[in-house]
Copies of this chain bind each other. A is one copy, B any other.
Amino acid sequence: MTVWDRPEPPTRPVPLDRERIVAAAIALADEGGLEAVSVRKVAARLDAGPMRLYRYISTKEELFDLMVDEVQAEILPEEQPGDWREALRILAHRTRQATLRHEWLADLLGGRPALGPNGLAVTEATLAAFDGLTDVDTVMRAVETVSAYFIGAIRREIANLRAERATGLSKHDWQRAHGPHVTRMLATGRFPALAKAVYDGTDVDAETSFATGLDWVLDAVAAKLTRPPA
């Protein structure tokens, strides 16, 4: 029997696992935002039928959860910093940078509890930085307060960035950027304080304002730590 007689071996389907699926989904999201992630497109990128993915996830939402957890791995600092303050600052900045790399993360941040392995590891590392410093409750309050801050701040930053991008770039968050509408509103005189802020305010770059606010919040936490709660 010659080669010509024998049929080719059947093409086995591309092997699949969650890792590959998540990687494909992240690639799509990086390129076109969260809305570019569809079960069908992820599958196509893996040369698979859409339904095949449902062996690995049971819902599209779960795919998002996996994506977030994957990025948490980027956030987890490689070495444990000594100081709690450093730990929180680094966590905040790493989260911000991860979000700048993966803008879609802004849409998901804080949207669901992060209970994946990497998410838990990040939380663990953060809590560990407070070991022996105060009671658990104060630690929780501290971590939650700081993370609430940076989640909110990152969301706003990305929101502004997108808005600027959508209207043709500009340095000033508001005014020229958002074009005639805001300008017109301010011109009505109904928003004097706002107008003053827009016209007299200095343009600070996003990173600086992020870091400044973060320092304020960290100061606040520090103040509560030295004087343990009543």
Contact = CB atoms under 8 A, between A and B. Distances in A.
A115 B155 contact: no
Contact of A145 (B110, B182, B196, B217): B217
Contacts of A137: 201-202, 204
A194 B149 contact: no
A interface: dominant SS: helix
B216 A145 contact: yes
Contacts of A212: 141, 145
B216 A156 contact: no
Contact of A107 (B111, B117, B202): B111
Q: Size class of A's contact patch?
A: 35 or more
Nearest to A182: B115
Contacts of A140: 197, 201
Interface stretch (A19-27, A47-55, A124-132): A124-132
17 contacts: A111-B159, A112-B159, A113-B159, A113-B178, A121-B191, A124-B192, A127-B194, A128-B193, A136-B197, A137-B202, A141-B212, A144-B153, A145-B149, A145-B213, A148-B213, A151-B155, A152-B153
